[in-house]
């Protein structure tokens, strides 16, 4: 059994321990839901106040130039680029993950000529699949066809009619980590373009988009990047594809010279063509400040701590006889998963609500998954010990059976 003093010793030797001080965290709570919504960085809170009170409140429209509002999409994109292994000029911050995916699917399908199949996995995040269906309804069955396979059958499901392979690097339910390099190489050998969704990997593990020769990628700003609820997303397009970058949402900010107000659309020749409407300055500014917590972080240390936290949680759960009804759905080996663990239980929702009521903020996904996300910057090893102790008590006492924990809220 791991003792409290051992956990405290791990925290004292943690090279990322001081990063916790850069977050505004609720007292007496442990937050294990960074894979759904990241914690609030203090710098982000201060930037929000500055943008609203000074930049907007006092400087008004002058702030587009004075405070470089107009440059936020590119500036944020370059901060994210460091975290995803992208050279400058290939990453932009804009819109939502779904909207960016719609754009890149359109680009990739157009590049592939007669090929029309988009291949993905059955357990991909539903919104990603919805974007393909939306394109199919728009363009017709002869131009877009969605094929789904099991996660373990991706390689065997590839064939010469596949135009695009659309994958999420870390499965949102199970936490399974896919081999980006291997799958990208196999797809390219068959002439297939790749779009990777990095929603559950950016900010917790090293990603090497350029080194893996990835074609396109998308990701969100509100999970492990801590940009706040509904924070803008990002998109990546490899430099070699910029000449083919003709996305369908041709808004004025994607114009080569938006302030010429030309009646004819002339797309920008670089990554800014992915922009459409006016940037949401307040939310982008918050994300911009939030990303500064990563400024001096070694990504290998980030990955090591995330894995160590999840392994500690898994080991403590495994040791307790009161938690034998929780069935681990995530891969057993930490190198095969992202920064989360998922457990299956018929009453996962009620257990999750009981945990939240006792200040352990976990996460539920239908139909029966209890998820725990391990954001390495704000979390401590002692937090993991506390969390499992509370979980043990809830299961031992069967407190989750209390009727208030079964009431379903609109957001689960």
The answer as to whether 231 is a domain residue is yes
Considering the domain architecture, whether residues 135 and 80 belong to the same structural domain is answered as yes
The answer as to whether 38 is a domain residue is no
Cβ atoms of residues 311 and 175 within 8 Å: no
Q: Which residues contact 380 (CB under 8 A, 6 or more apart)?
A: 7, 11, 14, 17, 20
Considering the domain architecture, whether residues 76 and 125 belong to the same structural domain is answered as yes
Total domains in the fold of the chain = 2
Cβ atoms of residues 405 and 356 within 8 Å: no
The answer as to whether 177 is a domain residue is yes
Domain ends where: 269, 294, 319?
294
Considering the domain architecture, whether residues 290 and 307 belong to the same structural domain is answered as no
Considering the domain architecture, whether residues 272 and 143 belong to the same structural domain is answered as yes
Cα-Cα-Cα-Cα dihedral sign, residues 64, 70, 73, 79: negative
Please give the Cα distance from 386 to 358 (Å, whole number).
11
pLDDT one-digit tens code per residue, 115-162: 999 999 999 999 999 999 999 999 999 999 999 999 999 999 999 999
**Which domain does 319 fall in, by range?**
4-31+297-406
- Say if residue 1's pLDDT is above 80: no
412 pLDDT band, cuts 50/70/90, is confident
Considering the domain architecture, whether residues 279 and 325 belong to the same structural domain is answered as no
Cβ atoms of residues 24 and 42 within 8 Å: yes
- Say if residue 3's pLDDT is above 90: no
Task: Find the CATH number of the domain harbouring 391.
Answer: 3.90.1150.10
The answer as to whether 235 is a domain residue is yes
Active site positions, annotated: 125, 197, 222-223, 371
Considering the domain architecture, whether residues 288 and 340 belong to the same structural domain is answered as no
Mean pLDDT, range 226-244, rounded to an integer: 98
Please give the Cα distance from 328 to 26 (Å, whole number).
29
Q: Which residue(s) pair with 217 in the sheet?
A: 196, 236
Please give the Cα distance from 400 to 412 (Å, whole number).
16
Considering the domain architecture, whether residues 169 and 314 belong to the same structural domain is answered as no
The answer as to whether 42 is a domain residue is no
- Say if residue 409's pLDDT is above 80: yes
The answer as to whether 412 is a domain residue is no
Mean pLDDT, range 247-265, rounded to an integer: 96
Domain ends where: 243, 263, 294?
294
Domain ends where: 246, 266, 294?
294
Mean pLDDT over each residue of the chain, to the nearest integer: 97
Phi then psi dihedrals of residue 390, to 5 deg: -65, -40
Of 322, 324, 370, 374, the closest CA to residue 344 belongs to 370
The answer as to whether 44 is a domain residue is no
Considering the domain architecture, whether residues 268 and 344 belong to the same structural domain is answered as no
Considering the domain architecture, whether residues 170 and 277 belong to the same structural domain is answered as yes
pTM, 2 dp: 0.97
Considering the domain architecture, whether residues 237 and 336 belong to the same structural domain is answered as no
The answer as to whether 385 is a domain residue is yes
Considering the domain architecture, whether residues 27 and 121 belong to the same structural domain is answered as no
Q: How open is the CA angle 362-367-368, to the nearest 5 degrees? A: 55
pLDDT one-digit tens code per residue, 164-203: 999 999 999 999 999 999 999 999 999 999 999 999 999 9
Please give the Cα distance from 170 to 393 (Å, whole number).
31
pLDDT one-digit tens code per residue, 54-89: 999 999 999 999 999 999 999 999 999 999 999 999
Considering the domain architecture, whether residues 402 and 284 belong to the same structural domain is answered as no
């Amino acid at each position: 059994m791991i003792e409290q003093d051992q956990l405290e010793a791990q925290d004292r030797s943690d090279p990322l321990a001081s990063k916790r001080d850069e977050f505004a965290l609720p007292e007496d709570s442990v937050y294990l839901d960074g894979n759904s919504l990241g914690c609030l960085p203090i710098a982000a809170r201060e930037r929000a106040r500055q943008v609203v009170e000074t930049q907007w409140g006092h400087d008004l429209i002058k702030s587009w130039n004075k405070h470089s509002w107009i440059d936020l999409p590119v500036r944020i994109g370059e901060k994210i680029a460091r975290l995803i292994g992208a050279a400058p000029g290939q990453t932009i911050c804009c819109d939502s993950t779904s909207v960016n995916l719609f754009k890149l699917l359109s680009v990739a399908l157009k590049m592939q000529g007669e090929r029309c199949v988009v291949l993905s996995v059955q357990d991909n995040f539903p919104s990603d699949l919805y974007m393909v269906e939306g394109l199919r309804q728009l363009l017709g069955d002869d131009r877009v066809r969605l094929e789904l396979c099991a996660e373990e059958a991706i390689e065997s499901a590839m064939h010469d009619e596949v135009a695009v392979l659309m994958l999420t690097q870390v499965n949102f339910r199970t936490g399974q980590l896919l081999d980006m390099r291997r799958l990208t190489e196999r797809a390219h050998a068959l002439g297939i373009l790749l779009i990777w969704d990095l929603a559950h990997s950016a900010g917790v593990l090293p990603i090497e988009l350029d080194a893996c020769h990835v074609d396109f990628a998308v990701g969100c700003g509100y999970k492990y990047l801590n940009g706040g609820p509904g924070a803008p997303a990002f998109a990546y397009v490899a430099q070699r594809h910029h000449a083919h970058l003709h996305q369908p949402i041709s808004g004025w900010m994607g114009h080569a010279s938006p302030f010429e107000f030309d009646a004819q659309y002339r797309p920008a020749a670089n990554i800014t063509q992915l922009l459409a409407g006016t940037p949401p300055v307040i939310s982008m500014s918050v994300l911009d400040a939030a990303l500064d917590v990563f400024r001096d972080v070694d990504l290998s240390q980030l990955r090591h701590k995330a894995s160590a936290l999840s392994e500690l949680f898994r080991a403590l759960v495994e040791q307790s006889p009161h938690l034998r009804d929780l069935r681990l759905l995530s891969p057993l080996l930490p190198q095969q998963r992202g920064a989360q663990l998922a457990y299956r239980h018929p009453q996962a929702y009620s257990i999750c609500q009981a945990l939240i009521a006792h200040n352990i903020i976990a996460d539920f996904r239908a139909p029966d998954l209890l998820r725990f996300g391990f954001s390495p910057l704000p979390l401590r090893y002692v937090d993991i010990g506390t969390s499992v102790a509370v979980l043990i008590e809830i299961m031992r006492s069967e407190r989750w059976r209390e009727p208030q924990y079964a009431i379903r809220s609109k957001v689960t």
